[in-house]
Every structure is written in structure tokens, then in C-alpha cells.
Amino acid sequence: MLEKVLIANRGEIALRIHRACRDMGIKTVAVHSTADANAMNVRLADESVCIGPPPARDSYLNIPAILSAATITGADAIHPGIGFLSENADFAEVVLEHGFTFIGPKPEHIRVMGDKVQAKAAARELGIPTLPGSAGALRDMDTAIAAAREIGYPVLLKAVSGGGGRGMKLAHDEAGLRSLVPLAQAEAQAAFGDASVYLERFLDRPRHIEIQLLGDGRGGVVHLGERDCSLQRKHQKILEETPSPGLDPAARERLTATAVAALEKLGYQSAGTIEFLYRDGEFYFIEMNTRLQVEHPISEMISGIDIVREQLRIAAGETLGYRQSDIHLRGHAIECRINAENPDDFRPSPGRISEYHAPGGPGIRVDSGLYQGYTVPPYYDSLIAKLIIYGGDRAECLMRLRRALEEYVIGGIETTIPLHQRLGDNAEFQRGAYDIGWLERLLDRG
């Protein structure tokens, strides 16, 4: 078993991992930038090491500093969390080379799924349907135009090294494609240091459905159902729920069976998620995230399985020890991502928390490092809290969601709580009648 885990991350997810470790009697080491010296995960950790100045490239992305911190604290394993180095195959490799346990998948699986073009090819090989698209990175405009004709408009331009929706452009016709290719390349270059882009057929008004998976690398693979993450703004997820209100049991069965079979074939180890675009019973591979995901708690709520605990157990060499038939998915869960942002124009709103009161009561879980007097630093992601609501069914979950949001007090900064309240009161959302573009259309209407 692991004795001391270094958590190479910050914010609520670092705290989430700390909690799983402490629940298992594992000691924790927090690494942090100078901007996060007072963060809750740092205060609660058994040990802490400052690894650099605020910019992430000098601290949370600073591989030598993180490995030095692991060495001087005598940690035996490193959990990369979400974002930062979590999908960096080179980091996973160097962690292993230095004799530490990497709490995550095998480096080769991170590598193949981290490259969009390779990942799509791998998905096809693993039996997952993929959207028609260009065979690889587009060499020039002529290739792009020829590929788009074959795929059929509208087409989506995507960055090969991309993620989080950046660098994506939608072309409705050839003229649009001509003007957007250079733009997408420039954006990809600026965001990821790699200008290569590729094309994919654009599916109108699909849902974003993803399957949460756990593999032990020794033949054991289970799923914890799906998550519907269609409520997005600029390709960033805002609210997620499980089960999806737009998936019938037969489609769910096909999706989960496809995902499980793929990971069995891959010999996947640790937690992972396969994301799909879904519409009218058809589903297509978007990408696989070879890491924990922000919205993992809703799957924990309906399955009773602590996903981070499973990651730690699997990294320590244990097998799952249960089968799919042992897992019973019950009830309904929703996660509201609370960001330090203006709820209307989404301008970041860092600053000092003057008052803090978290909601509680039946079915409520809050994953957050916030406390009264804490200052949200301006350097990082704006996610400051996750409100996770459980109910016996969707109706109960929605009632509790509205009640919990009423209770939640975060003073001193602006947050997206009012946006979630607006969603909770919206009749279409209550009916579950939404798709990937629904939230942006709602926001555009004002």
C-alpha cells in the first residue's frame, strides 16, 4: 500500500485527493506556488513544499521542482490531479524512472489519447465509432477543401494538440473554411505551440455524453454509468448530471458496453473517461481523458464508489476486486461548477472571500477549498467550488439543487451561483431538453 502521496496540483481537486488519501490512512504532501501558500489543501496536508512562483510553468508545471519535492519529503507516489501535468506522458514516465509510483494510467495510454489524431485512430481500432474527418493534420488549404467536400459541411476545425475547446472553428461552406483555416492554425499555435489542425464533420445539436471507467490493468474494467455534460459555454462544462435525461436504457447499454470493451482491449489502468457526441441513438468518439475528471463526484454519488480511492488502490497494484454486476447505480446526481466569475459576462473575479457559508443537509456535497478570509488568486482556473447534489430521482435532485443554491453564501467576489439558479428555474432544463449548444443560445437571448 502507498504510505505518502505527493499531490501535484492545487485547488479543490488537490483537496479532493487529500481527502481520499486521509480516508485510507495515507499521508499527503502538498506542493504549491507562492500564490497558494494559504490554500486549504496546503494547510491540511501532512507536509507542504513551495515549488515556485505563481506562473504555472514555474510551479505546477515545473517537473524538476515537483520531483525534488517528492525526493526531499520521501513520498512514494505522485497524483497529478486534473489539468497541469495530468495528461503529460513524459511526466508520467519520468515519475516512474525516478522510482515513484504514478497514480494514473500507463504513459503509453496517456500519450496515444493525448494526440487527437492518434486517439481517433486508436478509438476506431478499439471498436468505438468516430465522426468522419480528415485522415490527419491538414497539410494545406487544398487538402482541407478536398477533405471538407468528402466529409460534408458543416465541418469543425480542431487543433491536433488541442483541448478544452480552444482553437475550434465551425465552417458552414467553402468560403468560410478558406477564411477559418489560417485563424484556427494561428490560435492553435498560440495556445498549444502547434499549428496543426484537422477537420471533422459537425454534428448539429448533439449531447455530450461520457462514460466513467475504471480499469486495473490486469483485465478488470467496469463503468460507473454516463454523465451528461451538454451544458457548456465556450466548450467549458458548467453543470453535469447523471444519469442523462436524454439517454434511453438501450442506448446506455450500447455506449457503456462499447466503452468497457475498448478499455479491456487496451488493458487500461486507473480511472478514465471516454467522451461521446450523442444524438438520436447514434454516438461518436470525441476523446478519451486519461485522468480523473472535474465532474467525477456525480458518478461517485450514484455508484457509492470513491473514484480517487480506486485510483490509489490500483496504483498500489491492487485489482478491482468487484465486477460490473456488483455495481448498482442508484438515484440522480448533479454537479454545479461554481466559478469566480461574473455570472453575466464571465469576467474573472478573483479576490478575498469576505463571508462563506456552504450548504448542507440531505444529499449535498461541497468539494471546495474556500474559507472565510481566503483570497482567490488571479493566476489560475476560476473553478472555486463544486456543489454536488444527490436525489433519489431527478425531481428530488432538482429541488435540492435549488434549495442548496439558496443556502450557499460566497461573499466578496462574484460567482456563477446566479447562473445555476437561473438554470434550476428554467423549464427546458427541468425537462432535460437541452443539447451542447443550448446554454449558449440561452445566454445569447440574455
Partner 1 sequence: MRLGGRPPLAPDPDLIRSLAKLLDETGLSEIEYAVGDQRIRVSRETKAAAVAAAVPPRPAEPAALNGANGHDTHSHDKTNGADNPGTLKAPLVGIAYLAGEPGSPPYVKVGDSVSEGQTLLIIEAMKVMNQIRAPRAGRVSRVYVGDAEPVEYGSALMLIE
| Residues involved in catalysis | 291
Q: What is the b/e burial string over 381-417, where b = at least 16 CB atoms within 10 angstroms of the residue's CB?
A: bbbbbbbbbbbeebebbbebbebbbeebebebbbbbb
Q: Does 249 bind partner 1 (CB under 8 A)?
A: no
Question: How wide is the angle at C-alpha 444 spanned by C-alphas 440 and 446, nearest 5°?
Answer: 120
**How many residues in the shown chain lie near partner 1 by CB under 8 A?**
22
Q: How far is the CB of 42 from partner 1 (least distance, A)?
A: 8
Q: Does 232 bind partner 1 (CB under 8 A)?
A: no
Q: How far is the CB of 27 from partner 1 (least distance, A)?
A: 7
Q: Does 55 bind partner 1 (CB under 8 A)?
A: no
Q: Does 423 bind partner 1 (CB under 8 A)?
A: no
Q: Does 90 bind partner 1 (CB under 8 A)?
A: no
Using the contact rule CB under 8 A, the part of the chain among 41-49, 141-149, 404-412, 435-443 near partner 1 is 41-49
Q: How far apart are CA 130 and CA 256, in angstroms?
A: 16
Q: How far is the CB of 317 from partner 1 (least distance, A)?
A: 21
Which H or E run includes 254? helix 249-266
Using the contact rule CB under 8 A, the part of the chain among 69-77, 142-150, 187-195, 198-206 near partner 1 is 69-77
Phi then psi dihedrals of residue 335, to 5 deg = -115, 130
Using the contact rule CB under 8 A, the part of the chain among 44-52, 241-249, 357-365, 409-417 near partner 1 is 44-52
Q: Does 46 bind partner 1 (CB under 8 A)?
A: yes
Q: Of 212, 176, 207, 181, which Cα lies nearest the Cα of 195? A: 181
Q: Does 93 bind partner 1 (CB under 8 A)?
A: no
Q: Does 59 bind partner 1 (CB under 8 A)?
A: yes
What DSSP string runs through 36-82? GTT-HHHHHSSEEEEEE-SSGGGTTT-HHHHHHHHHHHT-SEEE--S
Using the contact rule CB under 8 A, the part of the chain among 60-68, 222-230, 304-312, 399-407 near partner 1 is 60-68
What DSSP string runs through 310-334? HHHHHHTT------GGG----SEEE
Q: Does 34 bind partner 1 (CB under 8 A)?
A: yes
Q: How far is the CB of 263 from partner 1 (least distance, A)?
A: 34
Task: Calculate the CA 347 to chain-centre distance.
Answer: 21
Q: How far apart are CA 402 and CA 295, in angstroms?
A: 19
What DSSP string runs through 143-206? HHHHHHHHH-SSEEEEETT--TTTT-EEESSHHHHHHHHHHHHHHHHHHHS---EEEEEPPSS-
Using the contact rule CB under 8 A, the part of the chain among 40-48, 187-195, 356-364, 437-445 near partner 1 is 40-48
Q: How far apart are CA 371 and CA 364, in angstroms?
A: 18
Q: Does 72 bind partner 1 (CB under 8 A)?
A: yes
Q: Does 26 bind partner 1 (CB under 8 A)?
A: no
Q: How far is the CB of 49 from partner 1 (least distance, A)?
A: 5
Q: How far is the CB of 312 from partner 1 (least distance, A)?
A: 19
Contact pick of 10, 11, 16, 48 for partner 1 (by CB under 8 A): 48
Q: How far apart are CA 30 and CA 49, in angstroms?
A: 6
Based on CB atoms, which residue is closest to partner 1, 80 or 424? 80
Interaction site with partner 1 (CB under 8 A): 27, 34, 45-53, 59, 64-65, 67-69, 71-74, 98
